[in-house]
């Protein structure tokens, strides 16, 4: 496999798996949240030393989904090589009350392939419906979370070095549990600056950067914001690295009141 093809594959896998990156234990009091609408994080995506793209994670606003207020989050990744382009967008809507997922969209354009997936998720009856197929409603998990809402939920959770945590809330039950190991604390330097960080290792029951073989590590800011600063994952065809380049954080995000 050529270096450029490996780099393209790295960008594609990152787009598919990045959002299940963060850890936790028991949620903080419901009255406070470490994020707020208007927050936007941007990243350089690298395959080894080669830059293959950029990414952004944005909490845009609060909207209504089936009559309930829900956060709207958008994750985008752009890049690849001259021979293989990646243009992926993942959108999630999750209730402001308990962060349970109510809607999840995937739009992936990778090389010559295009894929759209639309999910309506119903927390109160523990089902989800893949709108783009004819299977109808399927069983889900209690208080379900999709890729993005899981990330935001876990930012509300305290961390303790040396502990391992498991969660059974992913909206597709066969992907559970997601296991999180809290490894250590250290100082990390990224393009956005130098931060004190807590380093975690997420493992999920799926292929990609967070599989057991990927040995991924994620650096989170060791403060009330829990921003994702850096990600590194070793795969058979090379190393995927992601570095925070900028962060727009609303002043109220460290103590945002739940709606």
Contact 28, 254 (CB under 8 A): no
The CATH number covering residue 65 comes to 2.40.360
Mean residue pLDDT of the chain comes to 81
Is position 253 within any domain? no
Instruction: Return the H-helix or E-strand segment holding 15.
Output: helix 3-17
Provide the number of structural domains found in the chain: 1
* 221 within domain boundaries: yes
Taking only Cα atoms into account, the Rg of the chain, rounded to an integer number of angstroms, comes to: 17
Structure-token pair, residue 130: 């893949």
Q: Is the dihedral of CA 149, 15, 17, 108 positive or negative?
A: positive
Answer yes or no: is 257 within a domain: no
Does some domain include residue 109?
yes
Q: Is residue 37 part of a domain?
A: yes
Distance CA 244, CA 57 (A): 11
Domain with 230 in it: 3-246
75-129: per-residue pLDDT in tens?
888 887 777 777 889 999 999 999 999 999 988 776 777 788 899 999 999 999 9
Q: Over pLDDT 90: what percentage of the chain?
A: 43
Alpha-carbon distance of 55 to 46, in angstroms, equals 11
Question: Which position has the token pair 């992601």?
Answer: 242
Q: Is residue 258 part of a domain?
A: no
What digits encode the pLDDT tens for the residues 126-178? Answer: 999 998 777 789 999 999 998 788 888 878 878 899 999 898 998 999 888 88
Residue 121 near residue 101, CB atoms below 8 Å: yes
pTM over 0.85: no
């Amino acid at each position: 496999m050529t270096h450029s093809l490996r780099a393209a594959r790295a960008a594609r896998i990152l787009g598919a798996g990045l959002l299940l990156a963060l850890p936790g234990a028991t949620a903080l009091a419901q009255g406070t949240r470490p994020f707020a609408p208007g927050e936007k994080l941007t990243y350089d995506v690298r395959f080894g030393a080669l830059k293959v793209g950029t990414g952004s994670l944005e909490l845009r606003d609060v909207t209504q989904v089936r009559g309930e207020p829900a956060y709207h989050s958008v994750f985008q990744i752009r890049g690849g090589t001259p021979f293989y382009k990646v243009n992926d967008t993942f959108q999630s809507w999750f209730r402001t009350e308990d962060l349970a997922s109510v809607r999840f969209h995937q739009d992936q354009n990778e090389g010559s392939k295009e894929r759209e997936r639309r999910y309506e998720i119903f927390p109160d009856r523990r089902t989800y419906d893949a709108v783009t197929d004819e299977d109808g409603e399927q069983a889900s998990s209690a208080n379900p979370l999709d890729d993005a809402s899981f990330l935001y939920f876990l930012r509300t959770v305290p961390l303790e070095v040396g502990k391992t945590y498991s969660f059974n809330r992913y909206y597709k039950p066969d992907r559970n549990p997601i296991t999180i190991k809290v490894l250590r604390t250290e100082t990390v330097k990224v393009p956005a600056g130098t931060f004190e960080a807590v380093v975690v290792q997420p493992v999920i029951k799926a292929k990609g950067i967070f599989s057991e073989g990927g040995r991924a590590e994620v650096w989170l800011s060791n403060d009330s914001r829990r921003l994702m600063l850096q990600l590194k994952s070793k795969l058979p065809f090379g190393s995927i690295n992601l570095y925070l380049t900028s962060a727009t954080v609303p002043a109220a995000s460290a103590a945002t009141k739940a709606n």
